[in-house]
Amino acid sequence: MNKRTLLIAVGLLLCGVSASVAQTTAENEISVIGKDGNPEVIEMPEAMTTDIDSLLGLYKSKSYLYIDENCQTADESPTFPQEVYIERLSRMPTIIEMPYNDVVRQMIDRYAVRLRRSVSYMLGASNFYNPIFEQALEAYNLPMELKYLPVIESALNPVAVSRAKATGLWQFMLATGKQYGLKVNSLVDERCDPIKSSYAAAHFLSDLYKIFGNWHLVIAAYNCGPENVNKAIRRSNGVKDYWQIYPYLPKETRGYVPAFIAANYIMTYYCEHNICPLRTQLPIYTDTIMLDRNVHFEQIAAYCGLAVEHIKSLNPSYRNNIIPGQTELSSLRLPQSYISKFIDNEDSIYAYKKDSLLPNRAVVAVNNKEVASSGGRYHRVRSGQTLGGIARKYRTTVSRIKRLNGLRSNNIRVGQRLRVR
C-alpha cells in the first residue's frame, strides 16, 4: 500500500488518555505517540480498507442499488469545529457512550473523505440488513446502535472473509461461530447467513456484556476476544474502562471502538457531510421450501429461469452451490413467485445433469485386472478357468506357468494368483 503522512492528534482529553501526535504509516495503520513517549501503531479495522469495487460487484449491489440522481450535493466533506462533533454525538439516541476525541475524529474523517463511496454503499445496503440486525438485537434486549458493528466488521458484505478467515457480516471465526450454533462444513457455512449469524452475534454480545458490564469493553472483546481485554484490565490495575486500558490492547482493537463510534456518527449524519446514499429497490418477496435431496444451483437455474448468481445471493450459506438436503432437511430461498415453478418441476430439476453436477457414487466396482509389475506379470484365477486357457490368453505354455508357480499338477483354484510371465 502507498504510504502517506497524516497528522493525528491522539489526545483523548475527554476520556483520560494522554494527548499525542500521530502519523499514518500505511493505509490501514496509524502510528501514535503513547503516554511513555514511544510510538505505538493502531490498525484500522480491516473493513475500513475494503475495495469499493468489491462491494459494488455483489449481486444485490448490481441488482438493487443505484445512484440517486436527485441527490445533488458537492462531492466533498465540509469541516466542522470539534464542538459540532461533540454536540452531534451527544444528541444521538444511544445507550452506549459516544464520546468525542481526536482518534474518533480521525475515524470520522476517514469515513467522510476517503470512504465516501463505501458509506454510500453501506447506507443503501443497510436497508437490506438493518431490519434483520434490529430483530436479533431486540430478541436479546441489546442496544440498537450495535447494528453498526457489521459496518466496521465487514462493510456490510455478507460473504466477506478477512485475512484471519473470519467470515460473513459479523465476521465470526470458525470456533466462535460453531460455539454459537453456526454450522460450518464442506457444503454449508452459516456464518454467511444474515439471519442466523445476526442472532448468533446478538447471543455472543449478550454473553460478553454479562462478563464485562461495559459496552465499550464488550465491543473491544468482540474484536480481540475477552482474554485480551481481561489481560489489558489486569495490566491497568483492574480499571474497567476502555480508554484507560487503551495502551494495553492489540493494535487493531485500539482503533476498533473509535471506529464503532465513527460508524454510528457517519450513518446518522451523512447528509451533513454531503454523502448521498445509494437508492435501494428492495428485492421482491421471497419464500423458502424445505428439501430432503441434494440439489445444485445450476439444476434450479435451468428449470426456474433464475441466474445462479441470484440463487446464490438468496442462499449465501451454501458452499460450492450445493444444498445438502440428503444430509439433513435444508431450506431453499427463492423469489415467492418461483416457489411453485420449483415444485412443478421438482423431479426434472433433481434429474438435470445429476451425475456431472452431483457426483456422489454410493457403490463402485473395483478393477481387479492384473497388471505387469517389475517382477513379472500375474493373473487371478476366475471360476471355470483352466491352465490351458490362461496360457493361451497370455501366449505362453502350461509348462512355463507351472514352472513359474511351482505347480506339480494342472489343478488350480478360484482366486489363486498365478505368475504368467
Read off the pLDDT of residues 95-113 as tens digits, 9 standing for 90 and up.
999 999 988 998 999 999 9
Are residues 41 and 251 in contact, defined by beta-carbon separation less than 8 angstroms? yes
Task: Report which of 351, 347, 311 is spatially closest to residue 331, judged by C-alpha positions.
Answer: 311
Q: How far is CA 228 from the centre of its chain?
A: 23
The whole-number pLDDT of residue 280 equals 87
Q: Which residue has the cell 492489540?
A: 250
Residue 24 has pLDDT above 50, yes or no: no
Are residues 196 and 317 in contact, defined by beta-carbon separation less than 8 angstroms? yes
Task: Report which of 372, 410, 363 is spatially closest to residue 391, judged by C-alpha positions.
Answer: 410
Are residues 289 and 332 in contact, defined by beta-carbon separation less than 8 angstroms? yes
- Measure the CA–CA gap between 181 and 133, rounded to whole angstroms: 17
3-state secondary structure of 323: strand
Are residues 157 and 50 in contact, defined by beta-carbon separation less than 8 angstroms? yes
Q: What are the residues whose beta carbons fall under 8 Å from the beta carbon of 312, sequence distance 6 or more?
A: 59, 297, 318, 321
3-state secondary structure of 171: coil
The whole-number pLDDT of residue 375 equals 66
Q: Which residue has the cell 452531534?
A: 88
Q: Where in the chain is the domain with CATH 1.10.530.10?
A: 8-280
The whole-number pLDDT of residue 13 equals 30
The CA-CA-CA angle for residues 301, 362, 327, to 5°, reads 55
- SS3 per-residue string spanning 14-36: CCCCCCCEEEEEECCEEEEECCC
* Partner residues linked to 132 by β-bridges: none
Q: Are strands 294-296 and 330-335 parallel, antiparallel or unpaired?
A: unpaired
What is the per-residue pLDDT across 330-359, written as a single tens digit (0 to 9) for each? 999 999 999 999 999 999 999 999 999 998
Q: What are the residues whose beta carbons fall under 8 Å from the beta carbon of 73, sequence distance 6 or more?
A: 274, 275, 276
What's the grid cell of residue 348? 426434472
Pick the CATH number of 378-419 from 3.10.350.10, 3.30.70.60, 3.90.1170.50, 3.90.550.10: 3.10.350.10
Pick the CATH number of 8-280 from 1.10.530.10, 1.20.59.20, 3.20.20.70, 2.40.50.140: 1.10.530.10
Q: Which of 3-7, 218-222, 284-288 has the lowest mean pLDDT?
A: 3-7
What average pLDDT does the segment 157-176 reach?
95
Q: Which residue has the cell 459540532?
A: 84
Model's pTM, two decimal places?
A: 0.79
Q: Which of 13-17, 197-201, 377-381 has the lowest mean pLDDT?
A: 13-17
Burial label, 154 (beta-carbon count in 10 A; 0-12, 13-18, 19+): buried
- Measure the CA–CA gap between 123 and 320, rounded to whole angstroms: 30
The whole-number pLDDT of residue 263 equals 97
- Half-sphere exposure of residue 203, counting CA atoms within 13 Å on the CB side? 14
Q: Which of 10-14, 196-200, 313-317 has the lowest mean pLDDT?
A: 10-14
3-state secondary structure of 266: helix
The whole-number pLDDT of residue 11 equals 34
Better pLDDT: 395 or 283? 395
- Measure the CA–CA gap between 33 and 4, rounded to whole angstroms: 17
- Measure the CA–CA gap between 9 and 19, rounded to whole angstroms: 7
- Half-sphere exposure of residue 25, counting CA atoms within 13 Å on the CB side? 14
Q: Which helix (H) or strand (E) holds 321?
A: none
Q: Where in the chain is the domain with CATH 3.10.350.10?
A: 378-419
Q: Which helix (H) or strand (E) holds 40?
A: strand 39-43
